């Protein structure tokens, strides 16, 4: 949990980034689902998962909205202890996986390959959102989330905003993308 509570925004603005006392159980339940169903299987398959951002208190999220372009309402997403009105409890983390980042940045596979691997191998996923282009980062970063009422959306900001879930590749195309990802990661 300590890794998820660290926030550069909280440190910079000297804000407490912790679940509200009466809501700790909700945060732990949602965070446990995120870890057990999504992050641990990813780490088992692809190696270390680097958490860039996890839990955000309402106060930290408000500072992020004001100064850093964070989502205005992260309830049930990064704000784990406050369920979403439409999607129930949930948890989201912004992560990168070094083996995948190296492969994508070396152009030995596409970043979409991890989206389709998750789609086909982790049935409890709710949403994926890809950020940053190679000229802005040396990591391929993306949000991955679990929600009690899943969205099943894949969005990217790489090369302009796109909803990848609106055109899911065929089973054969996804298998080829997955194989290129596994090969590029040496798996």
Bridge partners of residue 128, in order along the sequence: 144, 154
| Greatest Cα pair distance in the chain | 50
Q: What is the pLDDT of residue 161?
A: 86
Q: Which domain holds residue 37?
A: 2-184
**How many C-alpha atoms does 98 have within 13 Å on its Cβ side?**
4
Using a pLDDT cut of 90, give the percent of the chain over it.
82
Cα distances (Å, whole numbers) of residue 51 to 6, 97, 129, 159: 10, 9, 14, 23
pTM beyond cutoff 0.85: yes
Distance CA(82)–CA(74), nearest Å, equals 9
Q: Is 93 helix (H, G, I), strand (E, B) or coil?
A: strand
The stretch 138-159 carries a mean pLDDT of 93
Runs of H (alpha helix) within 15-155: 24-34, 40-46, 58-68, 98-105, 112-121
Statement: residue 136 has pLDDT above 80 = no
Q: What is the pLDDT of residue 23?
A: 96
The stretch 112-132 carries a mean pLDDT of 95
Q: Are strands 141-147 and 162-163 parallel, antiparallel or unpaired?
A: unpaired
* pLDDT tens-place string over residues 15-50: 999 999 999 999 999 999 999 999 999 999 999 999
**Residue 139's pLDDT band (boundaries 50, 70, 90)?**
confident
- Say how many domains are in the chain: 1
Q: What is the pLDDT of residue 132?
A: 67
Statement: residue 67 has pLDDT above 80 = no
């Amino acid at each position: 949990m300590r890794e998820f509570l660290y926030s550069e925004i909280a440190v910079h603005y000297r804000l407490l980034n912790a679940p509200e006392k009466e809501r700790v159980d909700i945060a732990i339940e949602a965070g446990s689902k995120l870890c057990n169903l999504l992050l641990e299987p990813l780490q088992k398959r692809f190696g270390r998962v680097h958490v860039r951002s996890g839990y955000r208190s309402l106060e930290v999220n408000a500072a992020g909205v004001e100064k850093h372009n964070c989502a205005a309402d992260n309830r049930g997403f990064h704000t784990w202890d406050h369920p979403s009105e439409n999607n129930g409890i949930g948890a989201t983390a912004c992560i990168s996986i070094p083996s995948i980042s190296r492969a994508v940045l070396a152009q030995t596979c596409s970043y979409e390959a991890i989206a389709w691997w998750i789609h086909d191998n982790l049935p409890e996923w709710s949403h994926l959102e890809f950020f940053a282009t190679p000229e802005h980062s040396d990591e391929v970063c993306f949000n991955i989330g679990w929600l009690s009422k899943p969205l099943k959306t894949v969005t990217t900001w790489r090369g302009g905003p796109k909803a990848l879930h609106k055109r899911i590749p065929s089973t054969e195309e996804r298998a080829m993308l997955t194989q290129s990802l596994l090969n590029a990661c040496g798996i």
